[in-house]
Amino acid sequence: MKYRKRNGKDTWHFCTNCQNWPTSDYDERETKPTYGEFCNECLAKNTNGTCTKKQ
């Protein structure tokens, strides 16, 4: 799974259908980040089963 955050920010996104999914000027990693926080929208989408994840 891919995780992205905007450069200079501490919020990680993991749902590609999140309205705040970074598409430019971002850091990306394939392992779960150990710092920062996760986007509340991504967490909610993951909980209710509507999160689209990038492999």
The pLDDT tens digits of the residues spanning 16-27 come to 999 999 999 999
Average pLDDT, the chain: 96
State the greatest distance between any 2 C-alpha atoms of the chain, in Å, as a whole number: 29
Question: What global pTM score does this model have?
Answer: 0.93
**Backbone φ and ψ of 40, nearest 5°:** -65, -35
SS3 labels along 18-33: CCCCCCCCEEEECCCC
